[in-house]
Amino acid sequence: MRQKAGHSLVELLISMAILGTVLSLASQGIIMALRYHRNQQQVVVAQSKLRSINDALNQEVRSAALGGLVDYPVSKSTTSVSFLILEGGGGAGYQVISRTDTSLDFIADASTATDIDLASEVLLIDKSGNGLIIPISSVSALGSSLFRLNHPSCANTIPSSNDYLIFSVQAVGYDYDADAKILYREDGNGRLPLAFDLTEFNIGYVPDALTPSRLTLNTTAEYKNLKSETVERSYASQVDLPQADDGSGSSKGFTTHHIKDVSSCN
C-alpha cells in the first residue's frame, strides 16, 4: 500500500506566508476601524462640549431680568456680554414708595424683613427703562407691609420718578480671552473659567427697534486627531432675550419697565 505523501517545507512556507498576509490585512482593517471610531468619538466630544457651553449661556440669557443687556460686570462686545438674572424672591418686583440718596421705601407682601428673599443687590428701574444696580446694606420693616432698604450713596443715579420698581438681581458676565483661549463667567462671587481651549467665541446682536432682542452665539474649538492633524469644530445658536409685556401683547422694546440702560451704583 502506497503511503500518503506529507506537505513539503516549501508548501508550509507558502501557507504561512499567505496566512501572515491575511492576518496582516485583517489587523490593518481593525486598526483603521478603531482609528475611525476614535476620531468620531473626538468629534462627538468636541461638538458636545461646544453645545454645552452655548446651552449654559443660553439658559442664563433666557432668565435675564426684563430682557436687558448691561455693561456690568463686563462691557458687552463681540466677545463678551453681561446681563441681570433674577435672584431670591424679587421676580415680581416691589413697588417703591419713596427714595432718598441712601434708602428706598417699598411695599412687600411680608410680615418681617427676613421674609423678603433679596439677594446682595437690587435693580432699581423706572418706567422709561433707566436702571441702577444698588448694593443692599440692610432691610428693615416699617409696618403695614412697608419696608426700608438701606444702601450706600451712589455716584451714579437715574432720573427722579414716582414709578420705580426694584428687583432682586445678580449681574452676570461672560468674557472670552482669545490669548488664553478661555471663556470666563463673572458674577458677585468673582471670575471663574467656564471653558478651555476655545479658538473662537463670537456674539452677534440682532436688533429689534432700538434694542437688541436676540443673541447669536458662535463657538469654535480645535483638537488633534490620531494623525496629529488639527481638526476644527464649530457650534452656532440663537437665543431671544426675554421681553417685558405691557399687557397689550406687545413686546417690542418700548414696554413697561423694559431695560434700556443700566448703571452700577459706583
Q: Residues 17-36: pLDDT tens digits?
A: 787 777 777 777 777 777 77
Give Cα 78 to chain centroid, integer Å.
Answer: 14
For residues 248 and 45, the model is more confident at: 45
Does 32 map to a domain?
A: no
Among 180-194, 204-218, 229-243, the range scoring the smallest mean pLDDT is 204-218
pLDDT at 262: 79
Domain count, the chain: 1
Has residue 255 got a pLDDT over 50? no
Mean pLDDT for 221-231 is: 72
Mean pLDDT for 108-134 is: 86
Distance CA 244, CA 255 (A): 6
Mean pLDDT for 218-231 is: 76
Does 39 map to a domain?
A: no
Does 210 map to a domain?
A: yes
Q: What percent of the chain has pLDDT over 90?
A: 22
Are the beta carbons of 113 and 164 closer than 8 angstroms? no
pLDDT band at 212 (very low <50, low <70, confident <90, very high): low
Mean pLDDT for 159-180 is: 88
Distance CA 27, CA 22 (A): 9
Name the nearest CA neighbour of 222 among 247, 241, 204, 198: 198
Grid look-up 459706583 returns 266
Cβ contacts of 166 within 8 Å, gap of 6 or more: 90, 93, 94, 96, 104, 106, 122, 123, 124, 125, 134, 149
Does 44 map to a domain?
A: no
Cβ contacts of 257 within 8 Å, gap of 6 or more: 66, 93, 125, 126, 127, 129, 165, 244
Mean pLDDT of the chain: 80
Has residue 253 got a pLDDT over 70? no
Does 7 map to a domain?
A: no
Has residue 116 got a pLDDT over 90? no
Count of beta carbons in the 10 Å neighbourhood of residue 15: 11
pLDDT at 89: 61
Count of beta carbons in the 10 Å neighbourhood of residue 73: 19
Mean pLDDT for 176-201 is: 92
pLDDT at 39: 73
Has residue 73 got a pLDDT over 90? no
Distance CA 118, CA 104 (A): 14
Has residue 49 got a pLDDT over 90? no
Has residue 128 got a pLDDT over 50? yes
Does 66 map to a domain?
A: yes
Does 30 map to a domain?
A: no
pLDDT band at 64 (very low <50, low <70, confident <90, very high): confident
Residue 145 sits in which domain range? 50-264
Residue 135 burial (10 A CB sphere; 0-12, 13-18, 19+): middle
Has residue 178 got a pLDDT over 70? yes
pLDDT at 249: 40
Q: Is the pTM of this model over 0.75?
A: no
Mean pLDDT for 185-202 is: 91
220 - beta bridge partners? 200, 234
Does 240 map to a domain?
A: yes
Mean pLDDT for 3-12 is: 67
pLDDT at 248: 41
